[in-house]
Amino acid sequence: MKSLLAQKHKFSDSKAQIEFLEENRGFPLFADSLKSCGIFPLKPAGIDIFQMNIGKMCNQVCKHCHVDAGPDRKEIMTRETMEICLSVIRNNPEIQTVDLTGGAPEMNPEFFWFVEEVSKLNRKIIVRCNLTIILANKKYHILPEFFKEHKVEVVSSLPFYNAQRTDSQRGEGVFEKSIRAIQMLNEVGYGKENSGLMLNLVYNPAGAFLPAAQAILEGQFKQQLSRQFGIVFNHLFTITNMPISRFLEYLIQTENYEDYMDKLISAFNPAAATGVMCRNTLSIGWDGQIYDCDFNQMLELNVSGASKHIRDFDKQSLLTREIVLNQHCFGCTAGSGSSCGGATT
């Protein structure tokens, strides 16, 4: 499995993805769906979560990855950009959470320094850890202890509680390594009652279907992972696959694109639309560009208004902006809704 970029695939250009999403197939426009429930234009409610994609480099190449991440990706956030981000976080106490994602964020050479600096600011820190990175190299074996020391909330993808479905999405052998990594996190207290160390797992469907009900699936995961591997964790977040990047390519190759879009559109839920994560999140790209969410970031759809780069951060401009929408947004409003923190309703 190679990244779209390594394949020189047309969808490695975000403009080609947007053109495809905007082709007229008789689907309603996402903006019109918001209009029908009186929430257009979509406006922010605040900036509670500061999500930073600190690099597209990853030790895995997952079939559904919206980042098109992989070992070949060299886009990495510099210390200089991180310092500007630190200053913004420091000067804006309403930012409660700093959410680090990638790629594998741990592969950024400044990762350990940056987490130490953020932890001095007393904000909640989330690291979206792919689990296998902990075992990928000796220098990462310290991650569970490092996360514990800085009270990092660990959020990790595990598409299913069996190897078949996990490996079909994330690569051969990923399930086994993920289980070992979770056990290492459990060993230092993660996921255990009263430890204060949060370990949340992420389920996303290994194919062209919507996630199961979050609470029911969480129960199944807890029962199965405990019974088979003695694993504990706090919560399961169910996330819908967005029709962009590698997942878009998968949908087209398997002739599932139209049915999947139909499914997302039919399941449009106004309550989920009100609670979309872009209303309280900012997403910062590896190069400091500002986006409404990580998906817009991958489509290179910058925020509207003047504050398009972190060095030009202007809270007022960002709080009054109109959130940029496109057809992929139906992924966040289908059924129970979807966000980086799971279902939204």
Partner 1 sequence: MKTYYNPEDLKKFSKIGNFQKKLADKFFDYYGEVFAEGELSAREKSLIALAVAHAIQCPYCIDAYTSDSLEKGWTEGQMMEAVHVAGAIRGGASLVHGVQMMNKVNDLTM
Is there binding between residue 337 and partner 1 (CB under 8 A)? no
Q: How far is the CB of 217 from partner 1 (least distance, A)?
A: 5
- Amino acid at position 100, single letter: L
For 38-59, the three-class secondary structure string (H helix, E strand, C coil) is CCCCCCCCCCCEEEEECECECC
CA–CA distance, 293 with 194 (Å, rounded to integer): 32
- Amino acid at position 125, single letter: I
Tokens representing 206 are: 């290994």
Residue from the set 13, 75, 117, 262 that interacts with partner 1 by CB under 8 A: 262
Using the contact rule CB under 8 A, the part of the chain among 51-59, 84-92, 150-158, 203-211 near partner 1 is: 203-211
Give all strands (DSSP E) within 112-184, no chain letters. 124-128, 153-157
Residue from the set 36, 91, 92, 162 that interacts with partner 1 by CB under 8 A: 162
Q: How far is the CB of 159 from partner 1 (least distance, A)?
A: 12
Contacts of 44 (CB under 8 A, 6+ apart): 278, 279, 280, 318, 319, 320, 321, 323
Give all strands (DSSP E) within the chain, no chain letters. 49-53, 97-101, 124-128, 153-157, 199-203, 235-238, 281-284, 290-291
Residue from the set 50, 160, 233, 313 that interacts with partner 1 by CB under 8 A: 160
Taking the least distance from each CB to partner 1, the nearer of 150 and 165 is: 165
Residue from the set 88, 198, 217, 231 that interacts with partner 1 by CB under 8 A: 217
Residue from the set 207, 243, 285, 337 that interacts with partner 1 by CB under 8 A: 207
Residue from the set 164, 193, 194, 253 that interacts with partner 1 by CB under 8 A: 164
Is there binding between residue 63 and partner 1 (CB under 8 A)? no
Q: Which residue has the tokens 């309280």?
A: 280
Residue from the set 44, 70, 102, 211 that interacts with partner 1 by CB under 8 A: 211
Q: Which residue has the tokens 């053109």?
A: 19
Taking the least distance from each CB to partner 1, the nearer of 288 and 331 is: 331
Residue from the set 213, 226, 228, 287 that interacts with partner 1 by CB under 8 A: 213
- Amino acid at position 29, single letter: L
Residues that bind partner 1 (CB under 8 A): 160, 162, 164-165, 205, 207, 209-213, 216-217, 220, 262
